[in-house]
Amino acid sequence: MSQTTSHQAFSEPWARAWADQLRDDEAYRKAAATWEGSIALEAHREGEPAGAVFADLWHGECRTARAASVDDLAEADYVIRAALPIWKKVMAGKVDPIFGLMSGKLKLSRGKLAHLTPYISASKALVRAAARVPTHFPGDDAELTQASAAPSHLAPTSSAGASSNQIAAPGQRHYRTTSEGGLDHGLPVMGLWHKGKKLGVWDPRDIDFTADLADWRRLADIEREVILHLTSLFQAGEESVTLDLLPLIQVIAGEGRLEEEMYLTSFLFEEAKHVEVFRRFLDEVAEDRSDLSRFHGDNYRLIFYDRLPTAMSRLRHDSSPAAQAEASVTYNMIVEGVLAETGYHAYGSILERNGLMPGMQQTVGYLKADESRHLAYGVYLLSRLVIEHGEPIWRVIEQRMEEMLPPAIGLIHELFEAYEEMPFGLELEAFTDFAMGQFQKRMKRIERARRQSLDDLRREPVRTA
């Protein structure tokens, strides 16, 4: 840190230097043009307070910035808390602030995440401005190394996957189920298979949509438009997950993972039924045959017309653990986790709250149960990959999440921005808060795999919630 004086992070002079940087920052001014509200950043070290700053930000201007008082912390519109080593990574550009919030590295102790997520570029500009302030951190260096150090006791195994599980070349094939090996009932994925056989066998044709049709005809135009909009997202989403799953099943089968493949047959079967049930709704309730792709916005197109199919079809020629991890994060964690599960949760609760469309309510119940098994498989697969291949795979997972979360959250915003007033009491927060909570739970589970063995994984029942 050359000529200029370096300030201790989160101190009063640091806050003022940060505000100076912001005042000259055209990129920040533009990105935050509609931002209103004050923000406090709080640091802690081993649970003890380690400094906090407060900034009053308004329409791209930093009106004031100072070391935060107790009142500032109690009154700021948003308070973001994190350990010093995390803040250090944020300022070094190694952790994206919105991703940090989504994944729980940074905690939003006041304010709503949903209000922050449209400001991804503004938050990046805020952080870049902070990074331009020559900064030192109390008790420098030691902590950062500690925080970023990988647990070393988990040596990655060979990149070929579990070797005992490999499929032999034709001619030298060995069938496990006609040998003493048998089926491995100890694998947690068998629990999902058994559940799938019992719970995943509802028939889309059995749903009674009679009352739904009567309800639909009574709805206001705007209400029908919003339901049609949501359905168009669900419908194409279900079609894409049906079309795109096969390469993953092929890779899993190619590794001789019979039990996982058995479960995946029910997975694909269920996605196919999801396609069917939404199309039935469109045909018989909405009675709509128009081109619904008019509802597919930029973020939706990026995910469902590009990122998802690309990541899945990569598996046709690249079955590496990294390709599998990228595919599963995109498919399970983002498309199913942040989008489908969240969408069904919010949709189901508005139908229920408004006493509408009992057939669709029942359907959403089935969809949620099916998706919870799909997600549990994704968490299992990613945990297994982390255990088998160690830190490089964990980094692939983190990086892919970081790439995919902004368009996923962007898609939710896109939906709400399309309407001046959302009918049914639909609220943005209902989507984003639920998505974040579920996402954090799963990330924590997968992160735990960094310190686990395959035996640990085997001993844990796969949870479906």
Smallest distance, Mn ion to C-beta of residue 265, A? 15
Which tokens in the block code for residue 156? 């990655």
Contacts of 287 (CB under 8 A, 6+ apart): none
Between 22 and 334, CB nearer to Mn ion: 334
The CA distance from 210 to 134, in Å, is 67
Residue 151 C-beta: closest distance to Mn ion, Å? 35
319 vs 372, which CB is nearer to Fe ion?
372
* Exposed / middle / buried, residue 179 (Cβ in 10 Å: 0-12, 13-18, 19+): exposed
Nearest to 67 by CA among 32, 89, 92, 42: 42
Minimum CB–partner distance for residue 414 and Fe ion (Å)? 21
Strand pairing class (78-83; 36-45): parallel
Q: Which does 274 bind (CB under 5 to 8 A by kind): Mn ion, Fe ion, none?
A: Mn ion
Cβ closer to Mn ion: 106 or 335? 335
And the tokens for 291?
């081109």
Is the Cβ of residue 367 or residue 401 nearer to Mn ion in the bound state? 367
Pairing of strands 135-136, 7-8: parallel
Q: Which residues of the chain form contacts with Mn ion (CB under 5 A)?
A: 271, 274
CA 247 to CA 315: how far, in whole Å?
A: 6
Nearest distance from C-beta of residue 407 to Fe ion, angstroms: 19
User: Among residues 255 and 271, whose Cβ is nearest to Mn ion?
Assistant: 271
241: CB partners within 8 A, 6+ apart: 271, 274, 308, 331, 335, 336, 340
Binding segment for Fe ion among 120-128, 176-184, 207-215, 371-379 (CB under 5 A)? 371-379
Longest dimension (CA), the chain: 76
Q: Which of 88, 296, 374, 384 binds Fe ion (CB under 5 A)?
A: 374
Is residue 88 within the footprint of Fe ion (CB under 5 A)? Answer: no
Site for Fe ion in 336-365 (CB under 5 A): 336
Please identify the residue of the shown chain whose CB is closest to the bound Fe ion: 374
In angstroms, give the least distance from the CB of 336 to Fe ion: 5
Torsional sign, CA 257, 258, 263, 269: positive
- Contacted entry of Mn ion, Fe ion, none for residue 105, CB cut-off 5 to 8 Å set by kind: none
How far, in Å, CA of 31 to CA of 119, rounded? 7
Q: For Mn ion, give the closer residue by CB, 161 or 200.
A: 200
Pick the closer one to Fe ion by CB: 21 or 342: 342
CA 132-137-143 angle, to 5 degrees, is: 125
Binding partner of residue 42 among Mn ion, Fe ion, none, CB cut-off 5 to 8 Å per kind: none
State in angstroms the smallest separation of the CB of 271 from Fe ion. Answer: 5
Q: Which stretch binds Fe ion (CB under 5 A): 3-11, 48-56, 335-343, 390-398?
A: 335-343
Question: What value does the CA radius of gyration of the chain take, rounded to a whole number of Å?
Answer: 25
Applying CB under 5 A, which residues contact Fe ion?
336, 371, 374
